């Protein structure tokens, strides 16, 4: 019995000593200090307001377009036959090359038949002219001899009197003459010649196809006279002027051409809210193609007495904070020009301390610390 009491007493003593030891160790731990500075004063970056002269270049991407693009359409019906230049997209040609040839032998034969009848009528009229208009016979004889069946009619002799005019009208010589001239013009429409050096950008037909009147056959461009069409934000258009010099850059930023601002659109694109401007190129390289995207750097102009700051320093369009006696003060500025990442302004007094990084939940009279550079 005594032995059991001794064992129980020993266990109780060991547990008690362990409890006391644990409390002692816990008392040795340092209690964490309360954060008395939990509400810290935020730091802000600032710049002193100093006005100066700033250049305002405008850099925008644009697409190359030919200065001259022509749609070729048929003015006469007929089958398309082989011409000097293949009807293929990308095919180049020189000014004066035959681009489209519509079969014209029937029309050519009809025209020669008309001329033959006209010659016959003139031959029958020449004796009367010799008798009644002796002084005009040589002129009409020379005209008769100058007519060639495979060439266009020469110009009519000048009509000197009303009687002569009545005589020619009564024989329908004038009517036949102008009918033939009309047929000559129509015959010329069976062949379409290149009006400039260029290439095909679209082909809607092929050799052997039958063209109708008004059928669009192809589209051609003058490949050496290119313009860069550049969309410019409507608020920036006031900085650009006709005749301004423009640097044209590649996608890598290298200058590949220079140009001049030729014209500005007088309307805003509904989709992009931009205004298109057109730059004529003075190309240093022939490796430029219609549809290619390039970058235009417009010089704009130099603005006096302004300052440039990051756009995120401005809120509510034209409001900024300045620091006065370590407190934030809200002020209004006059925005002169907005760029992609910065804006140019004035309206503050020089020497004021402008906040360029606005703290979170910034408000009027918030206490701040200026971050030293």
pTM, entire model: 0.64
CATH code given to domain 44-54+303-370: 2.40.420
DSSP annotation string for 134-148: GGGHHHHHHHHHH--
**For residue 28, what pLDDT is reported?**
52
> What backbone torsions phi and psi does residue 230 show, to the nearest 5 degrees?
-125, 125
Q: Which CATH superfamily is domain 58-65+224-302 in?
A: Efflux pump adaptor protein, beta barrel domain (2.40.30.170)
Length of the chain: 373
| 266-272: Cβ within 8 A, 24+ apart | 268/234, 269/231, 272/231
Q: Are 242 and 280 in contact (CB under 8 A)?
A: no
> CATH 2.40.420 occupies which residues in the chain?
44-54+303-370
Interhelix angle 105-132/173-188, rounded to 10 degrees, is 150
Strand-pairing partners, residue 321, are: 330
**For residue 360, what pLDDT is reported?**
85
Tens-binned pLDDT, residue by residue, of the chain (373 aa): 556 656 655 655 565 566 555 665 555 555 555 444 446 889 999 999 999 998 888 888 999 988 888 999 999 999 999 988 999 998 999 999 999 999 999 999 999 999 999 999 999 999 998 998 889 999 999 999 999 988 999 999 988 888 988 999 899 999 999 999 999 999 999 999 999 999 999 999 999 999 999 989 999 998 778 899 999 988 888 888 899 899 898 888 888 888 899 999 989 988 888 999 999 887 655 578 888 899 999 987 788 999 999 999 999 989 999 999 999 999 999 998 888 788 999 999 999 999 999 888 888 999 999 887 6
> CATH 2.40.30.170 occupies which residues in the chain?
58-65+224-302
């Amino acid at each position: 019995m005594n032995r059991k009491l001794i064992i129980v007493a020993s266990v109780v003593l060991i547990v008690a000593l362990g409890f006391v030891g644990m409390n002692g160790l816990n008392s040795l731990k340092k209690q964490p200090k309360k954060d008395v500075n939990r509400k810290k004063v935020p730091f802000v970056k600032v710049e002193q307001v100093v006005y100066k002269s700033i250049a305002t270049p405008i850099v925008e991407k644009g697409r190359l377009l030919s200065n001259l693009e022509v749609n070729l359409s048929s003015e006469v019906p007929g089958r398309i036959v082989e011409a000097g230049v293949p009807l293929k997209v990308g095919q180049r040609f020189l000014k004066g090359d035959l681009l489209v040839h519509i079969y014209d032998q029937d029309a050519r034969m009809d025209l020669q038949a008309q001329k033959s009848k006209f010659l016959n009528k003139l031959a029958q009229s020449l004796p009367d002219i010799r008798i009644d208009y002796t002084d005009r016979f040589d002129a009409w004889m020379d005209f008769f001899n100058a007519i060639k069946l495979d060439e266009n009619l020469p110009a009519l002799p000048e009509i000197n009197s009303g009687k002569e005019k009545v005589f020619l009208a009564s024989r329908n010589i004038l009517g036949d003459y102008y009918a033939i001239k009309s047929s000559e013009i129509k015959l010329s429409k069976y062949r379409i010649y290149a009006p400039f050096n260029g290439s095909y950008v679209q082909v809607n037909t092929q050799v052997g196809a039958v063209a109708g009147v008004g059928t669009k056959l192809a589209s051609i461009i003058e490949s050496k006279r290119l313009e860069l069409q550049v969309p410019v934000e409507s608020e920036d258009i006031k900085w650009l002027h006709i005749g301004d010099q423009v640097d044209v850059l590649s996608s890598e930023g290298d200058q590949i051409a220079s140009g001049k601002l030729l014209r500005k659109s007088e309307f805003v694109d509904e989709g992009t809210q931009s205004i298109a401007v057109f730059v004529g190129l003075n190309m240093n390289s022939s490796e430029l193609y219609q549809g290619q995207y390039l970058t235009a750097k417009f010089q704009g102009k130099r603005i006096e007495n302004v300052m440039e700051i990051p756009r995120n320093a401005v809120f509510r369009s034209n409001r900024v904070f300045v620091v006065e006696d370590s407190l934030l003060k809200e002020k209004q500025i006059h925005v002169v020009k907005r760029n992609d990442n910065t804006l140019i302004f004035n309206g503050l007094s020089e020497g004021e301390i402008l906040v360029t990084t606005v703290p979170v939940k910034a408000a009027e009279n918030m206490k701040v610390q200026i971050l030293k550079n």
